Structure 1
Amino acid sequence: MPPYWNPCSYLPRRLQIVASLTTFILLCFLFLGSTSREDTDPYLDKVPFGSQIQQGAHQVVDNLPKLPNVNTPQWLNPFRAPAHTPPPEQANSSSGEARWYTDFKWRNPFSSSVTLDEQRAVLPPLPDRPPVYTYYDPGAGRKDEHMKQTEQDLLQIWRRAWWAQGFKPVVLGRPEAMNNPLFRQVQGLQLEPELDLEMMRWLAWGNMGSGILSNWLAVPMAPFDDPLLTFLRRGEYPELTRYEGLENGIFIGSRDAIDSAIKAAIAEPTIKTKKSVVEALPGKAFRIDSNNGGIAFYSTGTIKEKYSAISAKLSNPSLIGEGLAMLTELINSHLHTIWQNTFSSGIAVLKPLPEHSTAMIEPALDLARNLTQCAASPIPASCPPNRPRCKPCVSDRMQIHTPPVFRNTSTLFTIATVPHPYTMTSLLHERDDLSVRFVRRETARDQWITAATKELLGTGLSSFSRLVSVKDAVASDYGAAHSLWLTAERPPDKTSEKDLEELDFIFGFTLPRTPTEDGKSEDPVPRPNREKPPSLPPTDFGEGMVLSGPQLEKERSLLERAKMLLRRAGSTRQIVGKQSSNPAARMRGVVEAWNLADTEAWKFVRAFNARRRLERRKWEEDEDDFLGKGTWDRWVDKII
C-alpha cells in the first residue's frame, strides 16, 4: 500500500469534501468536548443559570420607578398593526347634525363599514342634472309691473317642473346672446322684432353649448319614467332635433350643430321674411321626432284652440296680465292633475305599529290631504295639451290609505315617517323615563323596520338584511319618484314657507296650503281663500285603528318630549359601557346601540333629505343673480 493512499480517493470530489468535514467535526467533539470536573474553573458554580436569571430580572423590573402614563400616538409605534382610516370629508357634506359621504357603496347595510364613522351616512352619488335652457327678455314689448310679475311666476313654474324631473333649469338672457361670436352678424341683419327675439334665443343657447332649449311655456308633464324624459336625462344629444307638434317649444343639439344652424339661417337670402329660425333653415337641418308625449307646450295656437277663456284675456292688450295669471294657475293645476293620474291607486301614509304611531304620522297625513285636493284652476275640467284624455281631479279623487306595511306598487305613492329608535321606544311603551336596564331587558330590537317590511320581505330575515330594501326605496331613482320619506323629528312644517317650497320643488307644482280634515273638498274647485272647515280631532287614522282624544294627546306629548331629549343629546354617539356627562346623550347612545338597524334607517333618511335641501338651495343661490333677486336686477331693462 503506498504511503500516500487516501481512503476517500474512491469517492467523487464533492463527497470527499463532505466526508472530510464530517470526520474533522467528529474528532473535535471527541477530543475537545469532554473535560473532567477538576479541569473546570473554580468559579463556575457562582455563574447563575436558568431560573436564577429570570428571578433576578423580575426583581430589577419591580424596583424600577413608576413612569407617568403617556398616551403615545399610535403612529409612533413601528410594530403597530395596519388600520383603515376614515374617508376624508367631502365638500357640502353636512347640514346641521346630518352628515353624509357620497359613494357607490351606499347600499351596504351599515354606513359605518364604509365611513368608519357612526355619524356619517353613505348616500348614492348625486345624479347628473342635464341643463335645460330657456330665454327670457323683459324688454321685449311694453309691459307693466303686473305683467312682468306674472311672467316671472310662469318662469318659476317652468323651473320647478324641470327641477322635479331631474334637470337643471337655467334662464338665459340677452347677455348670453351678446357673448356669442355670431351676435354681430345677426345684429347687422336688422330683423323684425319677432325673428330678432328668436335669433337672440338661439345665440344664447349656442353660447352655452350642448343641451336642451325650451320655451318657458313648455314644461315636462308626465311620469318620471316617461321615455322622452328618460332620454333627455341622459344628456347626450348627437343631432339637432325638434319635436313634431311642439313648434318651437323644445330643441336639443350639440354646440357644433347649433352654430351650424345659426350660420345657415344667417346665410338664408330671404331671412327677413321669415318668422322663426325653423322657417329659415332647410328641411333637413333638423331630425324630427314624433315622441313628444312628455312635454306640454302652451303655445298661442294651443291656448286659442283649447282654452278659449284664457285666449280671450290674452287677446285684449289691457287684460294680458290677467290672462297670464290665469295661465299660471292652469299650468300648475295640470301638473298636479297629471301627478294624481300617475298614482291611480292613491297615497299610502305608512303606519307601522299603528297602535302607537297616530301622532307621529299626522304631518304626513296633512301632506297627503294637500296632494289629494283639487288644485285651483280657471278651467276645472280641462286637461293639458299632451294628455287630452286625462282624468280631472273633480271627477276622479285620489284615495288615502294608511297601511301598516310598505308596499312596492308603481301606482301607489308612499309617504313614510321614520322615527328615531328613542322616539319609537317611548311611544311603544308610553313612557319617557327610559333606562339602560329597561331598554336591554324590556324592549325588542329594531321594531319599526321589522314591522314596516314584514309583508315585503317576510318575517324570516334579520333587521340588518332589511336595510338594503329600505335604502333602495328611499334613494334609488325609482324609489325617490314613487315615495317621500320623512323623519318623525323633523317633518315638514305647514306654517313654514321654506318647507312648503321644498315640497313644491320635490313634486314639481305648488301644493295647496290648507288641507281639509277628511281629505275631501267641499268645493270641487277649491280656492286659496276658501274657508277652512272647523277643526275636528282625528279619530280614525289607520286601517281600522280608532284613537280617542286623551290617548292621542298623550302620544303627542310623548313625541314632543322625545324630540326635546334628542335635541339636548345633539349628535353625540354614546359608547355603551362608558360614562357620559350628558344623560340625554348617554340614553340616546344606549337606544341607538340596541336598535342598530332602525338607527341606520333614520340617519340615512335624515341625511338624504338634508342633502336634497342643500342641493336645491345651492342651485338657487347660483341662479339668484339671473332671477331678478339681486341688487342689480338682471330683468330690469338696461340701456347699453
Structure 2
Amino acid sequence: MRPNGSLSALVAGAQSISTRRLILFLGGILVLSTTLLLFTSVNLSTESLRTVSLEIPDSIKGKLHVPTVFKPATHTPPPPAKNSTASTEGWFASWSWMNPFSSGQGDRIALPPIERCSIYTYYEPPEDKVQAVVEDKMLLAWRRVWWAYGFKPMILGPAEAKTSGFYEMVNRAPYVPAMKKELMRLLAWNYVDAGILVNYRVLPMGPHDDDTISSLRRCKFVYMNRYKNFDQKLYSSDKVSLNKVLMYVTENPPAADQNVTSVEEVIANLPKPEEWMREGSYPAALADYTPEVVADKYKDLEPAQLPGLVNAHLHSTFLSHYPDGMLLLSPFPDKFGALHHPALELANRIASCPVNNPLPESCPPNLRKCTPCKKPAAISSPDHLEETTKSFTLGTIPHPFTTIELANDDVSLMNDPEKTLLRYIRRKSVRDPWIKEVTKSPYMKSGLGSPPRASKIKELVVPKLGSKFLSIWSTDKEGFKDTEWTLGFVPPTLKELKLQLPGAQGNQKKKLYNAKMANVRGKNKIIGFVEGWNTGDTEVWKFVNAWRERRVLERSKWTAAEKKYGQGLDKEER
C-alpha cells in the first residue's frame, strides 16, 4: 500500500536524508536535551543564595511578597523519628535498658530511647521595645517549663507561615484582622507538620502525671482537637486533619462583614463539625497567663513583673505536689558529707519559698484556691529510699572507688600498695555497699542480689510516661547540672536566700577530690578491679552518668538549633 497525503510527503522527506545527516541531527537533539536537563535541575538552596544582595525600595517593601530564598530562618518539618544524641561512644538507645547489666557493648551504656513530642507556639514581636523584653522572658519561661515536662518546644513566626502552601490564599482573602492572625498561626504550624500548638503564655502547672499532659506527651493525634473552655490557646492535630481544615477555610473564606474571628466558628457552622474538629476535656493542669486573664486576676501586677510571678507560681506549685518535703538520700552520713553537700545546697534552694514573688498571696490562674508558701519545705536525710509520692528525692551516686575511699579509714586506694588493696577488697570489703544500703528493707526485701536493686534504681532515675516526677539523680562525676531545665523554674540562689550552710569536713573533701581525679584520669589500676567487684554499684553509677550526660547534650543540641531564631533564650544560650 502506498502512503498518501502528508504522510507520503513525510516518508519522501525522510528518504532524502542521508544516514550521516540523520545521526548528526539525532546527536544534536541528545546534547541539547542533556544540557537543558542539567541546568534546570541545579539545586538553588537557601544556603547557596545567602550571599545574594537584594535591595528593595522602602516604598514597596511592605507590599512585596519576598521569595522564599530571601526569608528569615525558618524551622523545618521534623525528620523521621531519629535523634543524633541517642547513640554515642558512651551510650546507645535500647528498649532493654531496664534489664540489669544490659549494656553488652563494652563500656557503652544502654539508655531508654529519646521520646520528646514537639510543641509549637507562634510569636510576632510587639513594636513596643519594653513589652518585647517582657514577652521574650515569657518565651524563655515557656521553653524551659515545657522542656522540663518532656516536650521539645519551638517558637514559630511569620517566616514559617509565609512558607506554607496556603499562605497566598490567606493573604488575598478578605479576612478580618483577628481571623487572619489566627490563620497565620495555623499556617506556621501546618508548615512544620502539625503536632501541638499552644499560646506561649500557657504553661504546664500541674503534676507530670496529669491526664492531659500525659496524652499530649504520647504525641499520637488522629484528629484536629481543640480543648473545652480554652478558646484557641491549645490545639493538637495530625498533618492530614489540619490540612483538611485549612483547605476548607481558605477555599470558603467568610465575608468580612460576618466578623468571623476564628477557625472554630467556621467549623461550628458545618453539618457535622465533630468530623472536622473534636473537643478535648478542659486542661486543668495548664495555667493561662494571656493578657485578658492577667488583667482580670492580677490587677495590681506591673507588666514587667509577670515573668517573676510565673516563675514564683511554678516554684510554689512544685512544692505543693510534695507535702512531706524533700528527701536528701544520705547513706553513710558520717563518711559521705562531702559527697552529699551539693545535693544539700540544691535541696535548700528548692525547699525555700520563692523570693522574688511580686504577689506572694496570689495563686496560679488554673487554681481557684491554694496555700501560699509561708515557710520552707521540710528536708530530711534518710539513709535509704522510701516508698512515697509525697516527697521529692535528691540522690547522688558515688563510683565504687569513691565509696571505698570515703568509707574506710584503715585503707587508702590512692596511697596503699596494690597487693594490700586487692587483699583488702577480696577479704574485707562488702560487694555493692551503696546500692544495698539505699535499697535495704523495708524498701526492698532482704536477701535480694544486686541486679534487681540496680533495675529499681534505674526505674527511679527514668520515670515512666504518665508517672509522677519524684526525683533527680546525679553522680560524684557529673554533679547537678541543668537543674532549671529539669525542674521547669529557677530556684533562688543561696545568696538570695541569705543562707550559709555548714561546709563538709576537710578530710572528706580531700578524699573525695582525690577519688574523682583518680577516676577521671584513669591512673589508678585498681579502678578496674573495684568496678568488677562492685558490678551493681558500677552499673547504676555508669547509667546515671550516661543519662545526665545525654540530657545535657540533648538540650545543648536543641539550644544550638534554636539559637539562630533569637527568641526566648537565656544568658547561656545567647
Q: TM-score range by the shorter chain?
A: 0.7 to 0.9
Q: Indicate the residue corresponding to 1:380 in structure 2.
A: 360
1:623 maps onto 2:562 in alignment:
yes
1:487 maps onto 2:475 in alignment:
yes
Paired residues, what number? Answer: 471
CA deviation profile, 1:94-147 (whole Å, cap 9, x unmatched): 77xx811221221222135x32x1x221112222x2211111112xx4222x33
Q: Indicate the residue corresponding to 2:502 in structure 1.
A: 537
1:452 maps onto 2:432 in alignment:
no
CA distance in 2, matches of 1:423, 1:125: 30
**8 Å CA contact 1:131, 1:167 repeated in 2:** yes
Q: Indicate the residue corresponding to 2:483 in structure 1.
A: 503
Shift of 1:421: 0.7
TM-score by length of 1: 0.69
**Does 1 or 2 have the higher relative contact order (CA < 8 Å, sep 6+)?**
2
CA distance in 2, matches of 1:94, 1:362: 32
Shift in CA distance, 91/620, structure 1 to aligned 2, threshold 3 Å:
closer
* 1:259 aligned to which of 230, 243, 247: 243
SS in 2 for 1:106: coil
**Aligned pairs (5 A) from 1:384-399:** 384-394=364-374, 397-399=376-378
* 1:565 aligned to which of 515, 518, 522: 518
Shift in CA distance, 91/184, structure 1 to aligned 2, threshold 3 Å:
closer
Gaps of 5+ in 1: 1-89, 314-322, 493-498, 516-527, 539-548, 570-583, 636-640
SS in 1 for 2:339: helix
Q: Indicate the residue corresponding to 2:549 in structure 1.
A: 610
CA distance in 1, matches of 2:333, 2:352: 25
Q: Indicate the residue corresponding to 2:55 in structure 1.
A: none
Shift of 1:192: 4.5
CA distance in 1, matches of 2:450, 2:364: 45
SS in 2 for 1:105: coil
1:433 maps onto 2:415 in alignment:
yes
Shift in CA distance, 628/615, structure 1 to aligned 2, threshold 3 Å:
same
**8 Å CA contact 1:101, 1:120 repeated in 2:** yes
**Aligned pairs (5 A) from 1:209-228:** 209-228=193-212
1:202 maps onto 2:205 in alignment:
no
Q: Indicate the residue corresponding to 1:341 in structure 2.
A: 320
Shift in CA distance, 480/605, structure 1 to aligned 2, threshold 3 Å:
farther
SS in 2 for 1:422: helix
* 1:332 aligned to which of 302, 308, 311: 311
Q: Indicate the residue corresponding to 1:599 in structure 2.
A: 538
CA distance in 2, matches of 1:92, 1:186: 39
Q: Indicate the residue corresponding to 1:143 in structure 2.
A: 128
Q: Indicate the residue corresponding to 1:188 in structure 2.
A: 172
CA distance in 2, matches of 1:346, 1:258: 44
Shift of 1:178: 0.8
CA distance in 1, matches of 2:213, 2:196: 11
CA distance in 2, matches of 1:343, 1:261: 43
Q: Indicate the residue corresponding to 1:407 in structure 2.
A: 386
Larger Rg: 1
CA distance in 2, matches of 1:278, 1:91: 38
Letter aligned with residue 414 of structure 1: T
**8 Å CA contact 1:102, 1:125 repeated in 2:** yes
* 2:450 aligned to which of 451, 458, 463: 463
**8 Å CA contact 2:207, 2:468 repeated in 1:** no
CA distance in 2, matches of 1:214, 1:271: 26
CA distance in 1, matches of 2:241, 2:288: 24
Letter aligned with residue 124 of structure 1: P
Shift of 1:608: 0.8
CA distance in 2, matches of 1:246, 1:374: 30
**8 Å CA contact 2:209, 2:468 repeated in 1:** no
CA distance in 1, matches of 2:180, 2:246: 12
Q: Indicate the residue corresponding to 1:124 in structure 2.
A: 112
CA deviation profile, 1:164-220 (whole Å, cap 9, x unmatched): 111111111111111112111111135444433222111111222231110110111
CA distance in 1, matches of 2:84, 2:298: 48
**8 Å CA contact 1:350, 1:404 repeated in 2:** yes
**8 Å CA contact 1:109, 1:464 repeated in 2:** yes
Letter aligned with residue 385 of structure 1: P
Q: Indicate the residue corresponding to 2:99 in structure 1.
A: 108
Letter aligned with residue 533 of structure 2: W
**8 Å CA contact 2:134, 2:307 repeated in 1:** yes
Letter aligned with residue 382 of structure 1: S
CA distance in 2, matches of 1:142, 1:274: 26
Q: Indicate the residue corresponding to 1:301 in structure 2.
A: 292
Shift of 1:235: 1.4
CA distance in 1, matches of 2:169, 2:456: 58
**8 Å CA contact 2:396, 2:474 repeated in 1:** yes
Q: Indicate the residue corresponding to 1:68 in structure 2.
A: none
**Aligned pairs (5 A) from 1:552-591:** 552-569=505-522, 584-591=523-530
Gaps of 5+ in 2: 1-82
Letter aligned with residue 294 of structure 1: A
**8 Å CA contact 2:139, 2:568 repeated in 1:** no
SS in 1 for 2:155: strand
Shift of 1:365: 0.8
Q: Indicate the residue corresponding to 1:15 in structure 2.
A: none
CA distance in 2, matches of 1:235, 1:170: 15
Letter aligned with residue 474 of structure 1: V
**8 Å CA contact 2:458, 2:543 repeated in 1:** yes
Shift in CA distance, 214/93, structure 1 to aligned 2, threshold 3 Å:
closer
Q: Indicate the residue corresponding to 1:275 in structure 2.
A: 261
Shift of 1:466: 1.5
Letter aligned with residue 435 of structure 2: I
CA deviation profile, 1:211-239 (whole Å, cap 9, x unmatched): 11101101111111100011111212222
**8 Å CA contact 1:241, 1:287 repeated in 2:** yes
SS in 1 for 2:334: helix
SS in 1 for 2:525: helix
